[in-house]
Structure 1
Amino acid sequence: MDIDSLKLFCDVIQLKGFTQAAAANSITQSAVSQRLKALEKKFGGPLIERHGNELFLTRTGEAVYKGSRRILAEMREVEEQLHRIDGKVSGSVRLAAIYSVGLYELDPSVKRFLKSYPEIDVQIEYSRENKIYQDVANSSVDLGIVAYPSNKPQPRWVPFRDDELVLICAPDHPFAQRDSIALKALAGQPFVTFQRDIPTR
């Protein structure tokens, strides 16, 4: 069994595209397609169907995907055990973050982490908040960073840090002369703000 091809197949599903999986594995998109065709030949049928711009698992693909995830998890466990024998900390961490945090704030923290634990493979993907909760709940990722806690008991969340929201207005706006503004003073004001499905709105 080609473990690398199984991982590549899982990456296509989790990253939602051949291009993204190719970039994550530093190979060409055609190489991804060839690997998946080989898997489909081995398992006797198509694993993925495309509808528009979206990819969907076939029934065969669903079974192969679930089995591949189990195999890859067991392989990671074996690798971690071997590294523990050598006294090394190793493994992988799959992290999902909202775009603003992932693109602008995570990089220094990840670099410090990798400097301390160079044997650990950190995989980061950027997504919307509702999808991050979903991915953590179904174990597609290990950790998620969002802007606002969910009111649901699961998955468990812990505070990461406090962030300050500020109001930006034109220099000639009446609010520009104030040091602070009560929330009720904002009622009725026109805003450029977050989309409706973003909790911090």
Structure 2
Amino acid sequence: MKVEYFKTFITVVNEKSLSKAGKLLNLTQPAITKHLQSLEEYFNTILLERNVKGIKLTDDGALLYKYAQEILKILEEAEQNISGNKENPKGILNIGASNIPGQYLLPLLLGRYNLAYPQVKVNLEISDTGDVVAKILDGIYDVGAVGSEIKNPRLEFVPFYKDELVFILPANHPLTQKEVLEPDDLLKIPLIWREKGSGTRMFLEKALKNFGISEKKLKIVMELGSNQAVLTAVEGGLGGAFCSEIAVRNATKLGLVSTHRIKGLALQRDLFLLYLKRKKQHPLINHFINLALSEFSLLRR
């Protein structure tokens, strides 16, 4: 069975058209048809149904589509691992990151990575911690950067940056002159919270629980899906919020918000790089993690 047949099959399914797949693969339509027929003969089943609406996978076809993706992914890993000792590694590195590392830490790091390994194409997507972890487990991302560690025996988490959450208030709030707030102050202020799945929220809820503050006692008036949205809401006077210090640094300098700490509440946390343990020797992942640890070691406070 030729690997090209799996590539053809996946492309036809993705494009939902033999002619479009042929253009992408630089193959004639008869060649595409031959590849598909070879697969169907080999597995002794019908993989695709063709009708006026296009192409539809059969149940067996859907199963093979999943396996074919895994096969090509493993072959890609093998190629990258075997070529990992070369001076100029090449390949594709898919990275998923939550808001804080994705917006404030990785962009400059990726610029340095590109200079060091120009033949590696890097794709970065920003989501929440839960989504990043799920896509690492599914093999969609090669490496992730998140704000909370989630226990899973298949995953390796590597701390790379020491972050701190601070409490921010609108610039005209009565408590702006009070650098350290009392815990009871939190119970009186309308709060803007991050969405479920956010690493910031996971860490914060655990820290508050350990501190003796129940989420039920808080006046949470809204949940927003990014640090920037939370910051904008606070600037607009809608309430207070916990945010990463690096995310509010500029707004604080410009006087748009005031930054505070809560008496007795420690909110320092590690940000983590993560990857599947079975990819431990993946050269592109190793190069990326080593560069991150080197670059951010000077910033760990």
* TM norm structure 2: 0.47
Aligned partner of 1:34: which letter? K
Any idea what the Cα deviations from partners look like across 1:35-87, whole Å, max 9, x if unmatched? 299799626405xxxxxxxxx99541331232233134314533653574x64
Any idea what the Cα deviations from partners look like across 1:153-173, whole Å, max 9, x if unmatched? 552212121222222223332
- For the pair 1:35 / 2:21, whether they are aligned, the reply is yes
Paired position in structure 2 for 1:173: 173
Gaps of 5+ in 1: 13-17, 19-29, 47-55
**Displacement after TM superposition at 1:110 (Å):** 0.6
User: Aligned in 2, Cα 1:6/1:182: closer, same or farther, shift over 3 Å?
Assistant: farther
Aligned partner of 2:79: which letter? V
CA contact (8 A) 1:9 1:65 kept: no
Q: How many residues align?
A: 175
Paired position in structure 1 for 2:48: 45
Secondary structure at 2:118's aligned position in 1?
A: coil
**Displacement after TM superposition at 1:124 (Å):** 2.0
CA contact (8 A) 1:94 1:143 kept: yes
Relative contact order higher in (CA < 8 Å, ≥ 6 apart)? 2
Secondary structure at 1:176's aligned position in 2?
A: coil
CA contact (8 A) 1:91 1:121 kept: yes
CA contact (8 A) 2:128 2:197 kept: no
Matched ranges for 1:1-201 at <5 A: 1=4, 34-35=20-21, 42=36, 44-45=47-48, 59-78=60-79, 81=82, 84=85, 87-201=87-201
Give the aligned CA root-mean-square deviation in angstroms. 3.9
| Greater gyration radius | 2
Secondary structure at 1:174's aligned position in 2?
A: coil
Aligned partner of 2:147: which letter? A
**Displacement after TM superposition at 1:187 (Å):** 2.1
Any idea what the Cα deviations from partners look like across 1:121-155, whole Å, max 9, x if unmatched? 22222222212111222333221111122245552
CA contact (8 A) 1:194 1:200 kept: yes
**Displacement after TM superposition at 1:191 (Å):** 0.9
CA distance in 2, matches of 1:45, 1:155: 36
Structure holding more strand per residue: 2
Aligned partner of 2:20: which letter? Q
Aligned partner of 1:35: which letter? A
Tell me the percent identity. 18
Gaps of 5+ in 2: 24-28, 40-46, 50-56, 202-301
CA distance in 1, matches of 2:123, 2:63: 23
